[in-house]
């Protein structure tokens, strides 16, 4: 078994090639062990109890918050709010900050390559406040030209929301440059970090992010836990998103006052074992090390794009430079529907994604209705890439061409 795969029970005793890492990643045994230890040793409702298990559950949960804060370079732990996932993090900002701060005449700028999670919340805010939704377009290579964002981000722009890495093209956006420009115009910047946090070091302050959203399950953590970073000054001013237990200071019959951040935004019983699992995933990432992770992904992506380029029936979308794909290679095979591509590859025990990838505006922009997508992670191997490309090369034959 390949070097990195030994830690992943799901890869044992089978020949499955898992190339759907942009959808969700696999979990190493260290993550499961950390969650099991929480459940076996101190499972209790955190933040409530005064007995030992609950105190330890609270400590584990707050330690996880600290790990997340350090991981993305937040200044303070209280700037990290645990959510279910990137989607919930962005919705929190849309409902709480967006509905409170935006009005007719204002503009929200997003890129055409956003995941639906970073489009629909802003459509909702736009409908409810009258603020206008403006799209920053990219070229066929995935690059958003400077003239595009400097023309469309104006004094009317109150919010710029963009993915650091596209889940379809894998391109990394120039977040810092766009954020600097947006800040000069007085706008707030939200960064969707769902596809960047698994693949590269992130520092929210160096990025210029006022808000930063990501999901645990895309970086080897469990499903159902994610995080929102918010600059403390903004979070303090924002009203709660959800209301209920845990997030209050005091409650009268007809009114309530709220706890300070982060509790103000964490209504109800929290996902403490999920947070512990996410922290363990971050520790695991750190143990493997960014150098190994990024080198392995770069090597595999170059190999994959190089070998696909030998197949004339395959069109790869986005930037011709494999180093600008973050392990994500979106493609079509001439004359074969991407769903058929995925089904045929499944019969070869190869998992890829096919469809619109929750990015329909980008699909239309690229002039396609759907594509196939192979997304790699550092635990994938050269042999898997070769077997995958051999299978892709046989697809048209299987379809009877
Ligand atoms: C760029 C991007 N943003 C947001 C999401 C949504 O993530 P989740 O389903 O974990 O909320 C995804 C998921 O694929 C994504 O790739």
* Number of other CB atoms surrounding residue 127 within 10 Å: 10
Q: Which residue's CA is the closest to the ligand 1 atom numbered 15?
A: 194
How far is Cα 16 from Cα 394, in angstroms, rounded to an integer? Answer: 18
Q: What is the per-residue pLDDT for 1?
A: 54
Average pLDDT value for residue range 113-129: 98
CATH class name, domain 3-19+289-398: alpha beta
CB crowding 279-300: b at 16 or more within 10 Å, else e: bbbbebbeebeeeebbebbbeb
Given a cut of 70, whether residue 105 has pLDDT beyond it is yes
Q: What is the per-residue pLDDT for 137?
A: 98
Q: How confident is residue 401, by pLDDT bands cut at 50, 70 and 90?
A: confident
Tell me the pLDDT tens digit for each residue of 368-400.
Answer: 999 999 999 999 999 999 999 999 999 999 998
Given a cut of 80, whether residue 242 has pLDDT beyond it is yes
Helix ranges restricted to H, 43-184: 52-71, 86-93, 99-101, 120-129, 146-152, 175-184
30-285 CATH: 3.40.640.10
Q: How confident is residue 49, by pLDDT bands cut at 50, 70 and 90?
A: confident
Its pTM stands at 0.98
Q: How confident is residue 365, by pLDDT bands cut at 50, 70 and 90?
A: very high
Distance (Å) from CA 374 to ligand 1 centroid: 16
Helix ranges restricted to H, 137-289: 146-152, 175-184, 204-207, 232-237, 272-288
Active site residue 358: yes
Kindly report the average pLDDT of the chain as a whole number. 97
Please choose, from the candidates 192, 226, 227, 222, the residue with its C-alpha nearest in 3D space to the C-alpha of residue 207.
Answer: 192
Question: Phi/psi zone of residue 355: left (φ > 0), alpha (ψ -120 to 50 degrees), beta?
Answer: left
Q: What is the per-residue pLDDT for 166?
A: 98
Domain extents in the chain: 3-19+289-398, 30-285
| Least-confidence region, from 46-60, 176-190, 255-269, 332-346 | 46-60
Distance (Å) from CA 86 to ligand 1 centroid: 6
Mutating to test ligand 1, I would choose from 22, 89, 92, 117 the residue with most ligand atoms within 8 A of its C-beta, which is: 117
Distance (Å) from CA 77 to ligand 1 centroid: 23
- Whole-angstrom CA distances from 33 to 28, 63, 222, 272, 280 are 9, 16, 12, 14, 9
Give one DSSP letter per residue of 122-138, joined into a string: HHHHHHHH-PEEEEEP-
Given a cut of 90, whether residue 96 has pLDDT beyond it is yes
Q: What is the per-residue pLDDT for 296?
A: 97
Q: What is the per-residue pLDDT for 48?
A: 74
The answer to whether the CB of 262 falls within 8 A of the CB of 81 is yes
Tell me the pLDDT tens digit for each residue of 286-303.
Answer: 999 999 999 999 999 999
Name every protein residue with a CB atom under 6 angstroms from any ligand 1 atom.
Answer: 22-23, 85-87, 115, 117-118, 163, 167, 192, 194-195, 215
- Tell me the three state secondary structure of residue 192: strand
């Amino acid at each position: 078994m390949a070097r990195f795969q030994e830690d992943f029970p799901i890869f044992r005793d089978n020949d499955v090639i898992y190339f759907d890492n942009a959808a969700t990643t696999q979990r190493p045994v260290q993550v499961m062990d950390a969650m099991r230890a929480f459940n076996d040793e101190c499972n209790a409702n955190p933040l409530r109890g005064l007995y030992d298990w609950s105190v330890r559950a609270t400590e584990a949960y707050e330690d996880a918050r600290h790990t997340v804060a350090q991981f993305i370079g937040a200044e303070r732990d209280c700037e990290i709010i645990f959510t279910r996932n990137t989607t919930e993090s962005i919705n929190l900002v849309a409902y709480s900050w967006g509905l409170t701060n935006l009005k007719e005449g204002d503009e929200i700028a997003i890129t055409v390559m956003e995941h639906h999670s970073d489009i629909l919340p802003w459509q909702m805010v736009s409908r409810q406040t009258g603020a206008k939704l403006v799209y920053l377009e990219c070229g066929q290579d995935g690059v958003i030209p400077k003239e595009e964002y400097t023309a469309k981000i104006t004094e009317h722009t109150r919010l710029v929301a963009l993915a650091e890495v596209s889940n379809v093209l894998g391109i990394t956006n120039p977040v810092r440059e766009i954020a600097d420009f947006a800040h000069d115009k007085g706008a707030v910047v939200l960064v969707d970090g769902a596809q960047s946090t698994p693949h590269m070091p992130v520092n929210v302050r160096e990025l210029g992010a006022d808000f930063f959203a990501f999901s645990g399950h895309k970086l080897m953590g469990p499903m159902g836990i994610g995080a929102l970073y918010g600059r403390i000054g903004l979070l303090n001013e924002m009203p709660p998103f959800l209301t209920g237990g845990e997030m209050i200071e005091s409650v009268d019959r007809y009114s309530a006052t709220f706890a300070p951040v982060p509790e103000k935004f964490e209504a109800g019983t929290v996902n403490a074992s999920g947070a512990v699992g996410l922290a363990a995933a971050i520790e695991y990432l750190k143990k493997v090390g960014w150098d190994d992770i990024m080198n392995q992904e770069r090597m595999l992506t170059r190999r994959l794009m190089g070998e696909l380029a030998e197949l004339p029936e395959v069109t790869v979308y986005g930037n011709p430079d494999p180093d600008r794909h973050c392990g994500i290679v979106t493609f079509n095979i001439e004359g074969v529907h991407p769903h058929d591509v995925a089904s045929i590859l499944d019969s070869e025990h190869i998992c890829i994604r096919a469809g619109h990838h929750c990015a329909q505006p980008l699909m239309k922009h690229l002039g396609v209705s759907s594509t196939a997508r192979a997304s790699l992670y550092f635990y994938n191997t050269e042999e898997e890439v070769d077997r995958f490309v051999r299978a892709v090369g046989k697809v048209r034959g299987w379809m009877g061409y």
